């Protein structure tokens, strides 16, 4: 009766495991970059939708400030801008941010106010995701 494994069997198992890991790690890294960039794009699109809905529901101007560390929605009150909602920014997931207009303002009708056409590019590793917002308040993820 044999108990345990031989050294040759253990070396073979370790070699096969190492080979499998070396083949899957680059693919897994690329997949994780895609998941992070796509997730950050979803968060930016959600923040834009919340800002637009806040303007329509409350009948005031709202603005979304887009920064790497945070996505902040403010509502216009009598004394100026009042913080309303805050979301973590893309930097929390290790995602880079490039934005054409870091402040997007919505009117009480849900339309963009001023220079509201915005493109947000989110990158991590070799992956990229884009979110655009038009003057009429339409948000599109690419």
∠30-33-34 over CA atoms, to 5°? 90
Residue percentage of the chain with pLDDT more than 70: 98
Name the least confident of 29-33, 49-53, 66-70: 29-33
Domains of the chain: 7-141 (3.55.40.10)
Question: Does residue 61 register a pLDDT over 70?
Answer: yes
pLDDT of residue 64: 96
**Which has more confidence, 112 or 97?**
97
Residues contacting residue 142 through CB under 8 Å, at least 6 positions apart: 129, 130, 131, 132
């Amino acid at each position: 009766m044999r108990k345990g494994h031989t050294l040759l069997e253990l070396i073979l198992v370790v070699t096969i495991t190492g080979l499998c890991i070396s083949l899957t790690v680059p693919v897994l890294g690329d997949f994780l970059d895609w998941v992070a960039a796509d997730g950050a794009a979803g968060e930016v699109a959600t923040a834009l939708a919340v800002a637009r809905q806040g303007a329509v529901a409350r009948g005031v101007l709202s603005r979304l400030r887009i920064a790497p560390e945070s996505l902040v929605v403010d509502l216009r009150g009598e004394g100026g801008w009042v913080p309303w909602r805050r979301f973590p920014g893309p930097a929390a997931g290790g995602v880079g941010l490039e934005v054409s207009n870091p402040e997007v303002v919505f009117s009480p009708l849900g339309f963009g106010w001023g220079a509201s056409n915005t493109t947000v590019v989110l990158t991590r590793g070799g992956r990229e995701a884009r979110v655009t917002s038009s003057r009429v308040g339409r948000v599109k993820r690419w």
